[in-house]
C-alpha cells in the first residue's frame, strides 16, 4: 500500500506494446474515463482539516493523476512531495534541500567501474558510515540514464531485509550520488577466492545465501520486477553475515510472468539463461520472464561449491554455445538434494525450471527442508559464514586492496571540484535529465514516480564477460 491507496488499482506505464506485458506500478497513473471522471479540485482551505492533511490529500490526488490526462509538471510534483514529507515527518524542507556532497566525508575507495566509483563515506556529525556510489553523467547513454533512475527507484521504494537500502540520492552538474547501506563484509565474489574460501563451510554458506536470495528475488518478482544481474559481485555481506542484493541498474518493471515480459539481451554472460541467449535466433516478439533470475541463482549455487560457473570458458562464443546445448555435469560428491536443486534450477527449458511457479516452489524444495523462511526473514538464524572484520568499522578489510589503497581524489577530480565551487553554490546545478532524482530516507518516501525502463530488442553493450 502506498499512501493508503490500493496499489492494484493503479496502472503504470508499460514498455512493450503487447497488452499481455503491461505493468502494475505503485506510482503510475490511475485508469480513468475522462467522460465520467469528475474534475479534481485541490484543497486550499477546509474546515476541520489541518495543513498537513490538505497537503497529504493534494499530494495523493496529483501524484496519482486523478482526473488528469497527463501528470503534473515535474517541478510542481517535486514541491508537493517535499511539503508532504515535511508534513509527515516534521522535517523542514529546507533541511532536505541542504543534503549535498559536502555533508559527507570520503574515507576509502571500495570499488571502481566504467561509470564511476564507490566510496566508503561518513555523514558529518554522525558516526554512521555508508557506501556512496558516484556516477559520471557524461558516461551515460539515454538508455543508461533511464536505468539509473530505475535503480534509484527500486532501492527507494522497496524495503526488504536482503535488499540494499537507499538513504540519500542527490546530484551535481556532472555527477549523480547514491548513498546506500554499507555492507562491511564485502561481496560474495571476494570470498569465493580460493585463498579466502573454506571448503568446510561452503555447504552451509551456499544454502544460507541461496535461501536469502530466494526471498529477495521472490519479493522483486511479486512486485513485477525482474532483476537480471545476479552474480557474486552483487551479493554483499553485512557485519553479521547476512546478505543484501545490490546493483539494480538492469532491473525491469512490469514483468509478472515466468516466460514473458522482457526482451533485452543484458547481464553478465556466465549467468544469462538460455532463453535470453536464444532471443536473437527467435526473432521479433521473443521474450523471457522471471525464470531467467532462477537460472542465475542455480549458476550462483553451483559456483559457490566449485569456484567457477558451469560451462566456464573465456571464449564468449563457446560459452554461449555450451549454455545453449551442453549437458550439465554435477560432481557426484554433492548430497542428492543439493544436486537436484542445482539441476532443476539449470533446466534449459524455463517451463520446466524450478521457480517457474514462483518463489514458493523454490522454498518448498527438499534442499531447503530445514530452513524456516519466516525466521530467516526476521534474521533469527546464526549465519554459517561470518566475514572477518577489523575492530574499526572503516577498516574495509573485506574489499580488494587494489581499490582501498587508491587515492580518494585524482588531480582531475580536484580541479573539477575547485571549478565547481568557483562557479557558485553546490545546489546551482542542471537537472535536465534527472528531475526529482533527490531522495532522503528520513522523509518517509521517494520523491518521484517510478519510471519504467524501455526494453530494447538488444543491449549487447551490456553483455559483460566474467572478469
Domain ranges within the chain, ordered by starting residue: 7-97, 101-183+394-437, 188-377
Q: Which three cell numbers stand for residue 465?
A: 564477460
Cβ atoms of residues 224 and 254 within 8 Å:
yes
- Segment 431-437 long-range contacts (CB within 8 Å, at least 24 positions apart): 431/171, 433/137, 433/145, 434/137, 434/145, 434/148, 434/149, 434/171, 434/176, 435/74, 435/75, 435/78, 436/74, 436/77, 436/78, 436/81, 437/149, 437/152, 437/169, 437/170, 437/171, 437/176
- Report d(CA 36, CA 138) in Å as an integer: 46
Specify whether the backbone of 422 is left (phi greater than 0), alpha (psi in -120 to 50) or beta. alpha
Q: Which three cell numbers stand for residue 273?
A: 539463461
pLDDT of residue 127: 84
Specify the CATH number of the domain 188-377: 1.10.510.10
Which are the contacts of 219, defined by CB distance < 8 A and separation ≥ 6? Answer: 158, 160, 163
pLDDT of residue 390: 84
Dihedral sign for Cα 122, 126, 129, 135, please: negative
Structure pTM? 0.73
User: Residue-wise pLDDT tens for the chain (467 aa)?
Assistant: 333 323 333 233 333 433 333 333 333 333 334 343 344 444 444 445 444 444 444 444 333 333 333 344 445 554 555 454 444 444 444 544 568 999 999 999 999 977 789 999 999 988 899 999 999 998 898 888 888 998 998 998 888 999 999 999 999 889 999 999 999 999 999 998 877 665 557 899 999 999 999 999 999 999 999 999 999 999 999 999 999 999 999 999 999 999 999 999 999 999 999 999 999 899 888 999 999 999 999 999 999 999 999 999 999 999 999 999 999 999 888 999 999 999 999 999 999 999 999 999 999 999 999 999 999 999 999 998 888 888 787 889 999 999 999 999 765 555 555 444 444 443 344 445 666 666 666 543 433 333 444 444 444 434 444 54
Q: Where does 173-271 show beta strands of DSSP type E?
A: 175-181, 235-237, 243-245, 267-268
pLDDT of residue 341: 98
Task: Report the catalytic residues.
Answer: 229
Per CATH, the homologous superfamily of domain 101-183+394-437 is Phosphorylase Kinase; domain 1 (3.30.200.20)
DSSP state of 234: G
DSSP state of 2: B
- Report d(CA 73, CA 62) in Å as an integer: 10
Q: Where does 91-222 show beta strands of DSSP type E?
A: 104-112, 116-123, 129-136, 166-171, 175-181
pLDDT of residue 394: 84
pLDDT of residue 61: 39
pLDDT of residue 215: 98
* Maximal CA-CA distance, the chain: 75
How many residues are present in the chain? 467
Residues 207, 210, 214: CA angle, nearest 5 degrees: 135
Cβ atoms of residues 262 and 228 within 8 Å:
yes
- Report d(CA 49, CA 43) in Å as an integer: 10
Amino acid at each position: 500500500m502506498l499512501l493508503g491507496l490500493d496499489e492494484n488499482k493503479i496502472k503504470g506505464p508499460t514498455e512493450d506494446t503487447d497488452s499481455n506485458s503491461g505493468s502494475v506500478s505503485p506510482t503510475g497513473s490511475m485508469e480513468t474515463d475522462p467522460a465520467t471522471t469528475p474534475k479534481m479540485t485541490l484543497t486550499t482551505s477546509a474546515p476541520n482539516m489541518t495543513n498537513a492533511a490538505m497537503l497529504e490529500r493534494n499530494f495523493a490526488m496529483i501524484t496519482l493523476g486523478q482526473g488528469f490526462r497527463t501528470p503534473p509538471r515535474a517541478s510542481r510534483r517535486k514541491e508537493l512531495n517535499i511539503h508532504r514529507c515535511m508534513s509527515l515527518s516534521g522535517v523542514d524542507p529546507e533541511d532536505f534541500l541542504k543534503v549535498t556532497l559536502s555533508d559527507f566525508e570520503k574515507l576509502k575507495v571500495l570499488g571502481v567501474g566504467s561509470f564511476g566509483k564507490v566510496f566508503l563515506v561518513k555523514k558529518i556529525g554522525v558516526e554512521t558510515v555508508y557506501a556512496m556510489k558516484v556516477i559520471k553523467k557524461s558516461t551515460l547513454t539515454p538508455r543508461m540514464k533511464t536505468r539509473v533512475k530505475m535503480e534509484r527507484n527500486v532501492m527507494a521504494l522497496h524495503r526488504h531485509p536482503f535488499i540494499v537500502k537507499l538513504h540519500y540520492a542527490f546530484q551535481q552538474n556532472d555527477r549523480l550520488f547514491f548513498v546506500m547501506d554499507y555492507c562491511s563484509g564485502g561481496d560474495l565474489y571476494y570470498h569465493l577466492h580460493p585463498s579466502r574460501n573454506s571448503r568446510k563451510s561452503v555447504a552451509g554458506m551456499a544454502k544460507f545465501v541461496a535461501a536469502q536470495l530466494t526471498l529477495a528475488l521472490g519479493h522483486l518478482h511479486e512486485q513485477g520486477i525482474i532483476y537480471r544481474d545476479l552474480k557474486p559481485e552483487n551479493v554483499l555481506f553485512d557485519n553479521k553475515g547476512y546478505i543484501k542484493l545490490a546493483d539494480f541498474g538492469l532491473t525491469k518493471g512490469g514483468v509478472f510472468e515466468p516466460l514473458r515480459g522482457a526482451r533485452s539481451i543484458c547481464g553478465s554472460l556466465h549467468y544469462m539463461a538460455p532463453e535470453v541467449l536464444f532471443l536473437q535466433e527467435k526473432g521479433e516478439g521473443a521474450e523471457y520472464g522471471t525464470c531467467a533470475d532462477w537460472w542465475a541463482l542455480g549458476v550462483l549455487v553451483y559456483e559457490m561449491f566449485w569456484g567457477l560457473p558451469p560451462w566456464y570458458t573465456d571464449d564468449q562464443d563457446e560459452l554461449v554455445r555450451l549454455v545453449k546445448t551442453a549437458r550439465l555435469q554435477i560432481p557426484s560428491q554433492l548430497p542428492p538434494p543439493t544436486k537436484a536443486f542445482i539441476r532443476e534450477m539449470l533446466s534449459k527449458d524455463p517451463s520446466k525450471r524450478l521457480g517457474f511457479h514462483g518463489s514458493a516452489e523454490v522454498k518448498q524444495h527438499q534442499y531447503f527442508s530445514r530452513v524456516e523462511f519466516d525466521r530467516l526473514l526476521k534474521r533469527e538464524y546464526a549465519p554459517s559464514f561470518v566475514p572477518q572484520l577489523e575492530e574499526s568499522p572503516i577498516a574495509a578489510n573485506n574489499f580488494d586492496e587494489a581499490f582501498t589503497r587508491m587515492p580518494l581524489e585524482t588531480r582531475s577530480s580536484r580541479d573539477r571540484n575547485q571549478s565547481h565551487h568557483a562557479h557558485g553554490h553546490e545546489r546551482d546545478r542542471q537537472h535536465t535529465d534527472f528531475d526529482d532524482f533527490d531522495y532522503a530516507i528520513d522523509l518517509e518516501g521517494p520523491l518521484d514516480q517510478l519510471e519504467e525502463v524501455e526494453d530494447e530488442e538488444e543491449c549487447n553493450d551490456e553483455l559483460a564477460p566474467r572478469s
